[in-house]
Amino acid sequence: MSAPAKTNQASNTAALEKLLRGAVDAGLAHLRRIDPDAASDLDVLRRREQTVPSIVVVGETKRGKSSLTNALIGVPNLSPVDAAVATSSYLEFVHGPQPAAQAYIPGREDPIPVRIEDIRDYGTVLGRLPEGVRPPRRLEIFHPAPMLQYASLLDTPGVGGLDSLHAEVALDAVERATALLFVVDASAPFSQPELNFLIEASKRVNMVLFALTKVDAYPGWRTILDDDRSLLRAHAPRFASAPFFPVSSRLAELALQMPADAAAEIVKESRVAELQHGLIGLAAKGTALKTANTLRAVRTEFVRLDLSVGDRMKSADPDPALLERLKEERGKVNSRKRSETKQWSLALNTETQRARVDAQSRLRKYITQLQDDFGKTIEKGSGGDIKKLPYEVDRALYAVSIRLSADLEHRFRVIGQRILASVFSPQELNYVLRRLNAKLRTAMTAKPQKEGSGDQSLVVMSAFSTGRGLYSLASAGGATLGASALAGGIVVPVVGVGIGLAAGAFMMWRRKVQANRSQAKVWLREVLGESRAALSDEIATRFTDLQYALTLALDEAIERRLKQLDGQIAEIDKTMVEDKNSRQKKRADLQKEREQLRARIKQLDEVLIKARGIAPAAPSDTQGG
């Protein structure tokens, strides 16, 4: 780029930053007058410090996020890429003088150092953690790669895809984003979960770029790109013109293994450099990006207030038929309170007991399978296999914990679908879910961790999670559960249960077993028996906590709905006895307030559209459609 062009670009960026700051200041000033609490929260967001911009890599499982992250950094396998060990924590890659890493463990204030070669153990679902260490929520990895001088990269979890279980971890990473790099691949167009996640994540981040991976494996990638753009126009029009970068991480990694003179053509064919340059150029405008994100948050608050004014306008212009409907609904709710509460409780008890029995059955099946597999190892394995047995059993129990956690999460969600969504209207359900969240958080954060102690303890068991000890399952409009962790979701009580061998189990092995196969069988039977008993107790506790919290939520939701209806009826009664002039004045005041809010939203949209202009230009062969 020529010097005059660079000067002109810098001038345009500075002008945009000034425009964005002015819009944020004006929006917050107006918000302070009508909602001081919301304005105060946004002030904190605006003052949040940012050094190097953060590019958060998000997308569905198996789309190639980790491979692309490695290609952008230029270090193969730095972020684990195997399908069997996909990331469970999010990995933040930042610039440092030499390779190093540290893990942020739930319950610990300071991070713990981690060797680079141990990243796979700490940051993957089936990694082997040191005894007593819970899986981290976040890993910070330092590396002197040139790309990281300009922007940090965050690789988000891909296990299970963008479903209700793992979307929370990815959305937590999005909180740290200056911009999003949304990864899709050339095998198929956007899936509905991808579009849902994109819409949710982009509420917090104004700038989104797309990477279309695996183009070397799919020669027809341009057709998929056109389909992706069509889906964006239909479901997320804000991103219809966002830049797409076609890349091949596989070719980029191959080039790193070749001599420099032979690698040049492969590097060019991988097209990763195009995306690198685009991200570096975008990172140079980090201040504008951060301010645009704040402005988008301000806009979200104005939209919320606009909806609130709409509800008030309905009360200011009462419809006698609406009043009758509300009174009829109140009568039905009150009747349900007297006659149906016991039925709901009975149905809830039936569902939880059924799910509990099912979970216990699956646990029995898992442990029986381990008993058979390791029994064969003891009978037919070599001396080396026998020697490694305690470590293999410990790892297998951890894997069973993960599998059982997923089973429990599914069963809790089913209970929510069958009971809550069938009992309450969408409006009532949202309140029930919010109250349930609070109760389960309180109950489970106060629950002490269980640990074995002494030589006789064979199993150590403790709760583990993505960080808060909870997984979110969200309400999708009341009919189903599981769409968005921010829409008012069920938070199931510490679904993650971690189990492994205690020090006593290893000591008993060394003292009594060693190479004796008969003693090894006895040891295995005792260890797995204790493990099953511990997990069985934990399952029972989980379901007891869930049933108690749901029962309270049912009772409180009914009381809350009655008060809400009483308030609406009283407001309409009051309005109906007012004279015509008073009603007209109230409606006019509310209409004026709404027009002002919508004018503000329109102004913010105009500025945000201009902010999209700082996006890097897409490659010329992707700009069609």
Cβ-based neighbours of 29, under 8 Å, separated by 6 or more: none
Q: Read off the pLDDT band of 95 (50, 70, 90).
A: very high
Confirm if 372 and 503 have CB atoms less than 8 A apart: no
Q: Is the pLDDT of residue 466 over 60?
A: no
The residue type found at 209 is L
Q: Is the pLDDT of residue 151 over 80?
A: yes
Give me the pLDDT at residue 134, please: 66
Q: Is the pLDDT of residue 244 over 90?
A: yes
Give me the pLDDT at residue 7, please: 64
Of 329, 307, 333, the closest CA to residue 572 belongs to 329
Tell me, rounded to whole angstroms, the distance of Cα 594 from its chain centroid.
Answer: 34
Average pLDDT of the chain, as a whole number: 75
The residue type found at 377 is T
CA distance 503 to 521: 19
211-244 b/e (C-beta count within 10 Å ≥ 16 → b) = bbbbbbebeebbebbeebbebbeeebebbeebbb
Q: Is the pLDDT of residue 480 over 60?
A: no
**Residue 496: phi, psi to the nearest 5?**
-65, 120
Q: Tell me the per-residue pLDDT of 339-350, one tens digit each, with 9 for 90 and over.
A: 656 666 676 677
Q: Is the pLDDT of residue 78 over 70?
A: yes
Q: Is the pLDDT of residue 201 over 80?
A: no
Domain regions of the chain by residue span: 3-77+161-304+607-622, 334-562
Q: Is the pLDDT of residue 69 over 70?
A: yes
Q: Tell me the per-residue pLDDT of 295-348, one tens digit each, with 9 for 90 and over.
A: 888 888 888 888 878 877 776 766 677 777 778 777 777 776 666 566 666 766
Q: Tell me the per-residue pLDDT of 256-294, one tens digit each, with 9 for 90 and over.
A: 888 877 788 888 899 999 999 999 998 888 888 888 888
Radius of gyration of the chain from its Cα atoms, rounded to whole angstroms: 28
Can you list the positions of beta strands (E) in 18-96? Answer: 54-59, 90-95
Fold of 3-77+161-304+607-622: Rossmann fold (3.40.50)
Give me the pLDDT at residue 331, please: 79
Give me the pLDDT at residue 462, please: 54
Give me the pLDDT at residue 493, please: 39
Q: Please give the average per-residue pLDDT across 67-84, as a whole number.
A: 80
Q: Is the pLDDT of residue 175 over 90?
A: no
pLDDT above 90: percentage of residues in the chain: 15
Helix/strand/coil for 127: coil
**What is the CB neighbour count within 10 angstroms for residue 161?**
20
pLDDT above 70: percentage of residues in the chain: 69
Q: Which residue bears the tokens 């007891």? A: 544
Q: Is the pLDDT of residue 245 over 90?
A: yes
Give me the pLDDT at residue 549, please: 67
Give me the pLDDT at residue 68, please: 92
Alpha-helix runs per DSSP H in 317-425: 320-339, 341-380, 383-418, 420-423
Q: Tell me the per-residue pLDDT of 571-611, one tens digit each, with 9 for 90 and over.
A: 777 776 766 677 778 888 888 989 989 999 999 989 988 88
If one compares 427 and 547, the residue with the highest pLDDT of the two is 547
Give me the pLDDT at residue 79, please: 82
Q: Is the pLDDT of residue 476 over 60?
A: no
Of 391, 389, 395, the closest CA to residue 374 belongs to 389
If one compares 497 and 464, the residue with the highest pLDDT of the two is 497
Q: Please give the average per-residue pLDDT across 497-520, as a whole number.
A: 71
What is the torsional sign of CA 256, 120, 392, 370?
Answer: negative
Give me the pLDDT at residue 300, please: 84
Q: Is the pLDDT of residue 469 over 50?
A: no
Give me the pLDDT at residue 479, please: 25
Q: Please give the average per-residue pLDDT across 90-112, as a whole number.
A: 84
The residue type found at 185 is D
Q: In what order do the strands lie in the sheet with 100-104?
A: 112-114, 100-104, 138-143, 90-95, 152-155, 54-59, 179-185, 208-213, 244-246
Characterize the bridge pairing of strands 475-476 and 470-473: unpaired
CA atoms within 13 A on the CB side of 153: 29
Can you list the positions of beta strands (E) in 488-549? Answer: 490-493, 497-501
CA distance 557 to 572: 23
Q: Read off the pLDDT band of 478 (50, 70, 90).
A: very low
Give me the pLDDT at residue 482, please: 27
87-112 b/e (C-beta count within 10 Å ≥ 16 → b) = bbbbbbbbbeeebebbbbbbeeeeee
Q: Tell me the per-residue pLDDT of 398-437, one tens digit each, with 9 for 90 and over.
A: 667 766 765 665 566 566 656 666 556 655 555 555 555 5
Give me the pLDDT at residue 402, please: 64
Q: Read off the pLDDT band of 99 (50, 70, 90).
A: very high
Give me the pLDDT at residue 614, please: 84
Q: Is the pLDDT of residue 86 over 80?
A: no
Give me the pLDDT at residue 414, please: 60
Helix/strand/coil for 162: coil
CA distance 512 to 529: 18
CA distance 43 to 46: 5
Q: Is the pLDDT of residue 368 over 80?
A: yes
**Among 24-33, 260-269, 287-296, 533-542, which is the least confidently predicted range?**
533-542
Give me the pLDDT at residue 194, please: 83
Q: Which residue bears the tokens 């076609």? A: 246
**Residue 467: phi, psi to the nearest 5?**
150, -45
Of 119, 116, 281, 148, the closest CA to residue 207 belongs to 281
Q: Is the pLDDT of residue 161 over 50?
A: no
**Residue 90: phi, psi to the nearest 5?**
-95, 140
Q: Tell me the per-residue pLDDT of 553-564, one tens digit each, with 9 for 90 and over.
A: 667 667 776 777
